Amino acid sequence: MNAFAATRLAKKIEAVIYTHDLDGRFATINRAGERLIGYSVNQLKSMTIFQLMVPTEAEKLQRKMNLKRLGVIPVPHELCILTKSGKPVTLLANLRLVYANGKAMVQGVARSKWTLQPAPISPVDGESMGSLPDY
């Protein structure tokens, strides 16, 4: 995939893709992230990810970032952030350590928890779904 195609794809994707340094200072964020949280990339570059988070969640993220530094890969986790308007949004995020110009950065790919909910399953033709057997 060439750079032009990759850029077009990144603009259409619904996931929030961002990078920040190990102190949490934003370096990049895609348009989906800007739309979701209400801040432009220029505004975010003067902020840290911890400033967006619900205060009780910031410490959890710091611990996960410390694990990343040690090479431990934590499972996807929830981030509860506050949008520019103050609305809380829960994201499911995957973080990975990447290197840019020899500097360690955290790359995050996150989606709103509510866009990932499966559609409810309903019985077919009025049949009862019953209960699951005990094993």
State the 10-residue block means of pLDDT for the chain, 135 residues long. 59 80 91 93 93 84 70 71 92 85 88 56 45 43
Q: What is the pLDDT of residue 131?
A: 43
Contact 70, 79 (CB under 8 A): no
pTM, whole model, 2 decimals? 0.68
At 24, is the secondary structure helix, strand, or coil?
Answer: coil
Pairing verdict, β 16-21 and 77-82: unpaired
Sketch out the chain's domains with CATH numbers.
14-115 (3.30.450.20)
